[in-house]
Amino acid sequence: MAMPPDEPEFPEAVAKRRSRFRVQLVWLVPLIAVLIGGWLAVQAILQKGPTITISFVTGEGLEAGKTKLKFKNVDIGVVASVVLAPDHKRVVATAELSKDASSMLVEDTRFWVVRPRISGGTVSGIGTLLSGSYIGMDIGSKATPRRDFVGLEKPPVFESGVPGREFVLKSDNMGSLDVGSPIFFRRLQVGQVTRFDLDADGSGVTLRVFINSPYDKYVKGDTRFWQASGVDVSLDTSGVKVNTESLVSILIGGLAFESPPDAADISEAAANSEFRLFNDRAEAMKRHDRIVDTYVFNFKESVRGLTVGAPVDFRGIVVGEVAAIYTRYDPVKKEFSIPVAIRYYPERFTSRYESGNKGGRVVEDRRKVAEWLVDKGLRGQLRTGNLLTGQLYIALDFFPNAPKATMDWNATPPEIPTAPGGLQSLQDSVTALVAKLNKIPFEGIGKDLRQTLQSADTLLKSLDNSVVPEARATLVAAREALDSTNKTLQPDSAIAQSTVETMHELSRTAAAFRTLAEYLERHPEALIRGKPEDKK
């Protein structure tokens, strides 16, 4: 077709075939996005740590999404949820941990809520007042993995890896101790109480204590532990003693340990060794003898001031202690007595030779030795150990003039004879003196003397006319002397009255001695402080 002459010529359009790959290029961007998302998801799954559950008594301080889990103050996870247990008795917290925490989750791993706490003289968790509570963690030592745990209500006293050793103590009671109570060695705090349990039979308490290194090496095989709580005030025959470890022990209680100077076992004690916990240092440091014999003293006098634990002394050496005090009634003699049972330590009777290193202990044939000592006059006697407090002790000593006595080995326990105490001896002597004075027949002696004088007067009268003048004068003088003597011995004479008054005064003096002896036996402190004035 011809084109008009005035219109331009246009090239002819040629159709181009469409490429089949245009559609796939459009979807390349979302595909890459999906791949990146998948890769991120796989990475998240691969990097995701374990999920654990921890049960607590209460949910105080726990908040989902905020409460952290920390180990050595480093975040290792976060609490994802906090719900009640199916039985509604506990709270279960689900926590998500980092991947590197998987190896920490073993059977004896421990968890607890860190919050402000004051216990055992220590203050912890103060930082949580601003940052909030978190869950603390301590790695266990076992290899068995675990994912569900029971949280501790109190933080552990010491964490794993702390150098030192743990020991076991057996005690009759807890005293004022608690978990975290300090332990002292020579008044330095070297450890703490970690746990306590009541024995299965209810007869005592078992405590576990931890001694920090390097002080744990001072716990020997013969080390003694004792209660160092509060102020220890003791009153015995040596007077009043006041002991304390530190101000902390006064307020919250504590323990102390030390080895006696003459300890036989000086090797270091192994971990978890068992020791006995004593009530005080004096009891702990007492010599613990292997051989203990039981005897009894039967006293007829008052034992006021004698207490259980009072020493049995042999010339200044403590060889025993009072175990019990009883009363006994003898229906045959119809009288009371005070039997005092003692624990006697025969190993403390030692003999040393002047030369050589030989020594002997009187323990081989104790029965023969006891019989020989009693035969030589060994007796038990009550003596005052402290005039201020009136405390008594039992003294073993020899009394050569004591009545003969023998040991009755058929009695259980055998009885050792006794001798009266000092005040009792004085009272007995005064009583015997008064009894002898009362037996003197003063009235009969006066009557006999008057009769003798009357016979002499009659004889003088009969000889008055038969003797020579010189003899008469002599007899007259004698008669005058006898008359004067007779007048002197009359009941109403001054000498007779003075003699009677003297006897009365002597009787009153004896009675006063008896009263004084009885008063001093009840109040021996009067020798120092005097007799107190009567209250009006």
DSSP-derived secondary structure for 7-71: SPP-PPP---PPPTTHHHHHTHHHHHHHHHHHHHHHHHHHHEEEEEEEEES--TT--TTT-EEEE
Is the same domain home to 446 and 481? yes
The domain total for the chain is 4
Q: Would you state the pLDDT for residue 251?
A: 57
Quote the CA–CA distance of 329 and 338 in Å, as a whole number.
9
Quote the CA–CA distance of 423 and 429 in Å, as a whole number.
10
Mean pLDDT of 247-272: 77
Q: Domain end: 367, 397, 419, which one?
A: 419
Is the same domain home to 303 and 399? yes
- Amino acid in position 81: S
pLDDT at 349 over 70: no
Contact (CB, 8 A) for 386 and 377: no
Q: Would you state the pLDDT for residue 510?
A: 75
Contact (CB, 8 A) for 301 and 289: no
Quote the CA–CA distance of 259 and 13 in Å, as a whole number.
116
498 in helix, strand or coil?
Answer: helix
226 belongs to a structural domain: yes
Mean pLDDT of 281-298: 81
Closest by CA to 152, choosing from 175, 126, 119, is: 119
Is the same domain home to 141 and 198? no
Strands 335-344 and 317-325, how do they pair? antiparallel
More confident residue, 510 or 313: 313
Query: CA 313: distance to chain centroid?
Result: 22
17 belongs to a structural domain: no
> Each residue of 229-242: pLDDT tens digit?
766 666 555 555 66
Q: Would you state the pLDDT for residue 92?
A: 93
The half-sphere exposure of 119 on its side-chain side, counting CA atoms within 13 A, is 16
pLDDT at 291 over 70: yes
Residue 45, both tokens: 């799954």
Strands 274-278 and 164-171, how do they pair? parallel
Is the same domain home to 219 and 250? yes
520 belongs to a structural domain: yes
112 DSSP assignment: E
pLDDT at 353 over 50: no
Contact (CB, 8 A) for 78 and 95: yes
Could you count the other beta carbons within 10 Å of the beta carbon of residue 417?
19
Q: Would you state the pLDDT for residue 250?
A: 58
- Beta pairing partners, 207: 169, 196
> Each residue of 14-48: pLDDT tens digit?
666 665 555 555 667 777 788 887 777 776 666 67
Is the same domain home to 184 and 250? yes
Contact (CB, 8 A) for 294 and 341: yes
More confident residue, 515 or 290: 515
Is the same domain home to 275 and 365? no
Note if the bond before 214 is cis, omega within 30 degrees. Answer: yes
Q: Residue 83: which pLDDT band, with cuts at 50, 70 and 90?
A: very high
Contact (CB, 8 A) for 410 and 422: no
Sequence-separated (6 or more) residues with CB below 8 Å from residue 508: none
Mean pLDDT of 344-366: 57
pLDDT at 216 over 70: yes
> Each residue of 112-122: pLDDT tens digit?
998 877 655 55
Is the same domain home to 405 and 495? no
468 belongs to a structural domain: yes
Quote the CA–CA distance of 451 and 33 in Å, as a whole number.
156
Is the same domain home to 202 and 274? yes
Contacts by 316-320, CB closer than 8 A, 24 or more apart? 317/348, 318/348, 319/344, 319/345, 319/348, 319/349, 319/396, 320/344, 320/345
450 belongs to a structural domain: yes
Q: Would you state the pLDDT for residue 111?
A: 92
> Each residue of 153-178: pLDDT tens digit?
888 877 777 889 999 999 988 887 88
227 belongs to a structural domain: yes
Quote the CA–CA distance of 184 and 144 in Å, as a whole number.
37
83 belongs to a structural domain: yes
Query: What φ, ψ does residue 158 adopt, rounded to 5°?
Result: -140, 150
Q: Domain end: 400, 419, 438, which one?
A: 419
385 belongs to a structural domain: yes
Quote the CA–CA distance of 191 and 207 in Å, as a whole number.
13
215 DSSP assignment: G
CA distances from 477 to 135, 456, 472, 473 (A): 126, 13, 9, 6
User: What residue numbers bound the domain in which 73 lies?
Assistant: 46-150
Handedness of CA 465, 470, 476, 478 (dihedral sign): negative
Residue 92, both tokens: 């279960």
Query: CA 142: distance to chain centroid?
Result: 39
Where do we find the tokens 């006059």? 377
Strands 48-56 and 91-98, how do they pair? antiparallel
The angle at the Cα of 232, spanning 227 to 237, to the nearest 5 degrees, equals 120
pLDDT at 466 over 60: no
CA distances from 188 to 256, 280, 488, 520 (A): 9, 17, 88, 46
Closest by CA to 420, choosing from 294, 298, 237, 238, is: 298
Q: Residue 536: which pLDDT band, with cuts at 50, 70 and 90?
A: very low
Q: Domain end: 120, 150, 180, which one?
A: 150
Q: Would you state the pLDDT for residue 507?
A: 78
> Each residue of 419-439: pLDDT tens digit?
887 555 555 555 666 666 667
pLDDT at 496 over 70: no
Is the same domain home to 487 and 516? yes
Q: What is the mean pLDDT of the chain?
A: 78
More confident residue, 247 or 191: 191
Is the same domain home to 214 and 262? yes
Q: What is the pTM of this model?
A: 0.51
Is the same domain home to 193 and 257? yes
Q: Would you state the pLDDT for residue 91?
A: 92
Most confident segment among 115-119, 376-380, 443-447:
376-380
Is the same domain home to 256 and 348? no
pLDDT at 489 over 90: no
Q: Would you state the pLDDT for residue 95?
A: 92
More confident residue, 79 or 465: 79
The half-sphere exposure of 142 on its side-chain side, counting CA atoms within 13 A, is 9
Q: Residue 359: which pLDDT band, with cuts at 50, 70 and 90?
A: very low
Query: CA 52: distance to chain centroid?
Result: 47
Where do we find the tokens 């799954």? 45
Q: How many residues does the chain have?
A: 536
